[in-house]
Amino acid sequence: MAASLDGFIARKDGRVDWLETSDEFAGGDTLDPEFVEAFLKTIDCYVMGSRTYETALSFEAKGFGWAYGDKPTFVLTSRELPRTRDTVEFYSGDLAQLVNGRLRPSFRSIWFVGGGAVSGDCLRLELADEVRYSILPILIGDGIPFFEKLDRDIALHLAEVKAYKSGTLALCYEVRGHRASHRTPPPNDSLQSMPSSGRG
């Protein structure tokens, strides 16, 4: 997801107006539309929370289009929401069961769109292999946090950093051995002695 430097993905009321920033970082790369297109092709399906889906629908209603192409999109909700296309499927229940039981056997690359509630669940339930975090050059003070209700530390491995002309910093982390933070470290244990990758 894209977040403010202070770690919010939307204002408390869900607005994302601050995503349009006007910074310029001379040493940064330009985001090549062909690169974006090629990257999007690597995604096999999307999973999102209902509030993110509602934001996507409102963007579409304003003429900004549907960002998820014709890829299967699984929307988590316990409510009756409008289904605007055949590629959208609603799901209510155990997220781990959906991902491990149903999606993993069929899709190689599963992209969790968000929002904060679903991202938090995704990390808590040990479903994520990678976290892609784009920091925008802005502070907004308050809002919906990137990961809601995390109940423990999650160790990460920084795998990729890219700075863009727009002032956005794109970070990619791999999630390290999920249970690493639960064990009691021996007295001489250190971060350096932990495995350097170990995708979840």
Q: Rule CB under 6 A: say whether 77 interacts with ligand NAP.
A: yes
Two tokens, residue 36: 């974006």
Distance CA 172, CA 26 (A): 22
Stretch that binds ligand NAP, among 99-107, 110-118, 123-131, 191-199 (CB under 6 A): 110-118
Q: Rule CB under 6 A: say whether 131 interacts with ligand NAP.
A: no
- 14: helix, strand or coil: coil
Q: Pattern of binders to ligand NAP over 26-65, x per CB under 6 A?
A: ----------------------xxxxx--x----------
**Where do the DSSP E strands lie in the chain?**
2-4, 8-10, 45-49, 73-76, 88-91, 110-114, 130-136, 144-145, 156-163, 169-175
Q: Is the peptide bond before 27 cis (omega within 30 degrees of 0)?
A: no
Distance CA 155, CA 180 (A): 7
Stretch that binds ligand NAP, among 22-30, 104-112, 114-122, 186-194 (CB under 6 A): 114-122
Q: Does residue 177 come out as left (phi exceeding 0), alpha (psi in the -120 to 50 range) or beta?
A: beta
User: Where in 135-174 is the site for ligand NAP (CB under 6 A)?
Assistant: 144, 148
Which residue, 13 or 86, is less far from ligand NAP as judged by CB?
Answer: 13
Q: Rule CB under 6 A: say whether 180 interacts with ligand NAP.
A: no
Task: Give least dist CB 115 to ligand NAP, A.
Answer: 2
Q: Which residues contact 3 (CB under 8 A, 6 or more apart)?
A: 9, 133, 134, 135, 136, 146
Which residue, 62 or 79, is less far from ligand NAP as judged by CB?
Answer: 79
Give the interface with ligand NAP as residue ranges (CB under 6 A).
1-3, 9-10, 14, 16, 48-52, 55, 76-79, 92-93, 95, 113-118, 144, 148
